[in-house]
Structure 1
């Protein structure tokens, strides 16, 4: 079982890898926007095609791997034939990924139509062409996840979180070459789908796919260093995969339900620019750009901590240690809440300058429409963190079935909210309405999951979690006031542009963060020290 100090070190190592990856991810987004813009036919076409492998991976493999692989591998390495079991699991996973990737690549036109129906024919054709290049990424995303989760189960957390750095470097280089060869979006008519050539498609989509391939392959040496000597093994009889298959089935059902809601969002986002009476309108590319900003604090803290805690939760669940599970879950929710409450509040205030940095190569109108989507998303950030931690507990108990009713409710909220936005709001606000519905769904998911977990683990330490969130909310109020005041002062002192956006984020965000930390100190929030300790230790080590 992983010790608390080991969890903190693992979380810090993963957070550092995630931080570098996210910074490079922002740079990747900046270069991509420079190449094809943040709104328009080409940007939306590429966004639909490039997110298909991510969506399909999450649907067909991602959640299934989270649900079965870590608990199964943790158990496997506690018995003599553990490596043989892992070999069989990996072999089965590789073969299934290859077959599914091939079938879905052939089905690219149907998938594009499913996620983006009401678009001009030229945009649909371009999106389909992009999809033929991008959907094979599904196989390599799956390989990355399979190998990475085995490394995590072996206590090797770093490579899994650092591998995306390679992906981003390769993609940035490819997108940069695209700008050099074909010019930037502001210099050409690249935003119009009908103008694209096969060379442009191959370079842009090929660079994106090459990055994912590299991300998977760099884990192979790390696997060997961790002492995992994989070799293909066939045959499922007696391997114990039947139980894993049941968990995977229910995980798949839950993810399908979630995707039904997301399809409604994607189709609304695809239709919005075409339904509006001209001008810059948020579409799929704008939604993805906003989601990138939304995911920054989640990726840096929630994912890193949850991944480190998951192995521990799996061991406690296996040992029927309900008290241990409850304590680990409570710790995770409290620490995550400590960061996400501040991140949500400060991102809401700084949405315009933050979006301006992320989309520094985009026009002012595009930045404005994406910033509104960011605000609608970040209000649900704390609930998203709590829901993510609750999911890990269900997966630790291999109870994917128990989450399905929650996922149904969340999908209904997302789809219903998006349809209401289409019915009562102008097309320019459809994506904002969809983002707000997504935030509400996270609240529903977090509350419902906590209620269900109470019966399984004898409570969720609710009073302690609630006290932490109340104190964090009290601490963030003066931080928001300081950040908002600084933002207004800088808006008067500096001209609009990238320089003001950067200075505002540094000064207003820094002041707001300092006030928040100071207020937490005054309120004696002990979770703050628990999360800052490994970070300070790493800084001291760097000075030496």
Structure 2
């Protein structure tokens, strides 16, 4: 687990370097929007065909198969699933190549012909990513089921490094051009997939080439996947609407992409780790009907997530401009781009706690073997997001789309909490509320400090170079962390110690836990 956590951290860091390179090389130019929109499309299609299905149901089925004594038959059954998935992805890739003009048109209804042509150019090179993402996810699913976490966590690093090299070559190597950039981006996904396959052999992988779409393992995956597929379809419809609204503004697609990568960082680094600590035992408690302990874990999940996410939200609100300026503003990424992205990030951050709580409670519903409630919540969330986006984009532009995201997640997080309380009366919302008040108070004190530091930054730091600014920002963030910890101690927020100990225990090597 330590390897997975460190691998995830390294992956996130190289991801930030990639986004910084992308901003410096492409900025918020039309070519940046074309590149980013074309890059979104293969991911959307992969998620629609297989992505959500693999993440939700593939690993449990693999674990179930490998728990049987007949390992050879288990690998044959798993191979049936893999082969069926690859055929579906291969056929989809071919159809997307043939239908690429139509797919691009659907995503660029409001775009001009030149931008649409650029998106189509990139997308033709990016189409193979659909099957490559599938290869990567299938390998990663099997490795995770075999408790081989490190290589799966590090695989995106290979992707990030290859894309960074491609961006650097596009900027500094004469003749590399957009063809080289497009090919390099797809090679990154290929590298992410291939780097995992040597570890499959070590994990005992036995491949069997056989195809039977009526095989029980394939049918089981399909049946389990139907609610997940509906869930993913709703997400993709909402994303298509957002893309068409964003493309009306130069740099709009890129601003949303870059800001969203920053926005999900606290969730990806910390909230996911908290979920990894707390959630594995929920299914067992549900089977035993031990509802008081089950409710206790849900309470902890909400409180522990809030301890990390609420102060992160406040820091994003108050220091988004210095953060974006240090990490992104260079090359073709101008001060105007910084201001737009910082505003978008601030708007996104208003929904960060709601986003985290909604995803946590979603997994709680799944542990209760309830797939209908997450689907219904997702429908409400996407419908709300679309309606709010249409209302706000005309008033606020691109920041309105980020604000719509935040508002939609706030709505469904509130509904999720109400539903889980109805399902689990043992949840002590009074206890949760008292802790949230303490966390909010400590975060607001931290925010006051951050507001003062942001004002100091705006008045004094404009003429400094990158490295002095980076050093000062690091100092600011360190001071704010210390201020938050001191405020939390003052308000008696003892749960901070529980969070630190639990994550340390989870990250420690297994030998030290025995």
**TM value normalised by structure 1:** 0.85
Aligned to 1:42: 31
- The answer to whether the 8 Å contact 1:167/1:214 transfers is yes
**How far has the Cα of 1:396 moved from its partner?**
3.7
Aligned counterparts of 2:141 and 2:155: Cα–Cα separation in 1: 13
Aligned equivalent of 1:171, options 151, 163, 171: 163
Residues 71 and 311 of structure 1 are in contact (CA less than 8 Å); yes or no, is this contact kept in structure 2? no
Q: Is the 8 A contact 2:43 2:130 kept in 1?
A: yes
Using the TM superposition, name which of 66-75 and 236-245 deviates more: 236-245
Q: Aligned with 1:109: secondary structure? A: helix
The reply on whether 1:249 has 2:226 as its aligned counterpart is: yes
Equivalent residue pairs, number: 503
1:79-120 superposed Cα distances (whole Å, 9 cap, x missing partner): 335444333322322222222222223222222222222222
**Shift, 1:305, TM fit:** 3.9
Moved more, 366-375 or 24-33: 24-33
Q: Does 1:213 align with 2:190?
A: yes
* 1:48-63 alignment runs, 5 A limit: 48-63=37-52
Task: Describe how 1:281-300 pairs up with structure 2 within 5 A.
Answer: 282-300=251-269
Residue 222 of structure 1: aligned partner: 199
Question: Could you say what secondary structure the match of 2:249 adopts?
Answer: helix
Mark the runs of 5 or more structure 1 residues left unpaired by the alignment.
1-9, 183-196, 274-281
Report the Cα offset of residue 234 of structure 1.
3.3
Cα deviation for residue 368 of structure 1 reads: 0.6
Q: CA deviation at 1:48?
A: 0.5
Change (3 A) 1:397 1:72: farther
Provide the C-alpha distance between the structure 2 equivalents of 1:33 and 1:138, rounded to a whole number of angstroms.
25
Aligned to 2:358: 387
Structure 1 equivalent of residue 512 of structure 2? none
| 2:61 match | 72
1:93 matched to 2:85? The reply is yes
2:477 corresponds to which residue? 509
Aligned residue number for residue 7 of structure 1:
none
Offset at residue 394 of structure 1 (A) = 3.4
Asked if structure 2 preserves the Cα contact closer than 8 Å seen for 1:50 and 1:131, the reply is yes
Against the structure 1 CA distance between its residues 536 and 397, is the aligned structure 2 distance closer, same or farther, given a 3 Å change threshold? closer
Tell which deviates more after alignment, 16-25 or 234-243.
234-243
Distance 2:419 2:4 in 1: 30
Q: For residues 171-223 of structure 1, what are the alpha-carbon distances to aligned partners after superposition, in whole Å with 9 as ceiling and x for unaligned?
A: 111111111124xxxxxxxxxxxxxx9x6222111111111111111111223
Match 1:343 to one of 312, 336, 349: 312
Displacement of 1:403: 1.8
> Structure 1 pair 238/169, CA: closer, same or farther in 2 (3 Å)?
closer
The alpha-carbon distance between structure 1 residues 88 and 529, as it changes in their structure 2 partners (threshold 3 A), is farther
* Whole-Å separation in 2 of the counterparts to 1:451 and 1:486: 38
Deviations 1:115-163 (A, max 9, x none): 2222221111011010011122121212222222232233332222211
Unpaired stretches in structure 2, ≥5 consecutive residues: 510-514
SS in 2 for 1:272: coil
- The normalised TM-score by structure 2 is 0.89
1:277 aligned residue: none
How is 1:125-274 mapped onto 2 (pairs within 5 angstroms)? 125-182=117-174, 200-235=177-212, 237=214, 239-273=216-250
Going from structure 1 to structure 2, the CA distance change for 1:397 and 1:477 (only over 3 Å counts) comes to: same
For 1:449-460, list aligned pairs within 5 A. 449-456=416-423, 460=427
- 1:331 matched to which residue of 2? 300
Superposition deviation, residue 28 in structure 1: 1.0
1-side partners of 2:292 and 2:64: how far apart?
A: 20
- CA drift of 1:42 comes to 0.7
Q: Which residue of 1 aligns with 2:400?
A: 433
Q: Distance in 1 between matches of 2:463 and 2:506?
A: 37
1:23 matched to which residue of 2? 13
Structure 2 CA distance for partners of 1:219 and 1:539, relative to 1, 3 Å: closer
Match of 2:461 in 1: 494
Within the candidate set 412, 430, 451, 1:445 is matched to 412
